[in-house]
Amino acid sequence: MVAGSNPAGGSTNKYHILLVIVRWWCVSRIYTRTGDKGDTYCAALKSRVPKDHPLIEFVGTLDEAISSLGMAAAFCQDSHGDIADLLTGFQRLLFNVGFLLSGHSNLTPQTVEELESIVDKYMEGLDLKGFILPGGSPCSSAIHLARSVARRAERRLASVIHNGGYGLSEDKLNLALKILNRLSDALFAIAFWVQSKEGRVEYL
């Protein structure tokens, strides 16, 4: 091969420019048409699977939970900026839970302890007398909604585990299950705290 050339012909510089254009085209396109027949690629299994596969259901529910947390953060930003920041942190946490499927998650048991500390912090001094109606202000209502979606993500992960885990680390799956459970608890505690501070707690 002549120096400065490539198998497709032309200069190396032109080849690199073409490669950049191709990469930009692939990344910038929102639609790929690859899932039009109801299947999608699963990183954990390194193959295409039906979109209602338990692993895909789990990832999809995580996506819903992340979006719900984003909405809650937006509703809380003006009245409770510190809580909005905390909810944004929870979004990043759920992305990390999702990375579990590609083998790149760095979840640790410390996360469970941190979430339990958040629960204790927001429940301190509050008296939960029974079942409350999820609601109150837009901020607390949105947090309750995110909590219920996080619970669903927990159930979807339980389904993955009960189906054998599909080759994923049992220890990591069980840790992720604990994290989702404590996250839901933390979201309840935060929502209840907001309702209490705003005088909007309503019991059944």
Distances (CA, A) of 7 to 3, 15, 19, 107: 11, 10, 13, 44
Q: Which amino acid is located at 124 in the chain?
A: E
Each residue's pLDDT tens digit, 59-111: 999 999 999 999 999 999 999 999 999 999 999 999 999 988 777 778 899 99
Residue limits of CATH 1.20.1200.10 in the chain: 39-197
Question: What distance in Å separates the CA atoms of residue 178 and residue 116, rounded to the nearest whole number?
Answer: 11
Q: Alpha helices of 9-123 — where are they, by DSSP H? A: 12-28, 54-76, 81-98, 109-123
Each residue's pLDDT tens digit, 17-33: 655 555 555 555 677 77
Taking residues 141-149, report their average pLDDT. Answer: 98
Fold of 39-197: Hypothetical Protein Ta1238; Chain: A; (1.20.1200)
How confident is the model at residue 123, as a pLDDT?
A: 95
Question: What distance in Å separates the CA atoms of residue 194 and residue 139, rounded to the nearest whole number?
Answer: 8
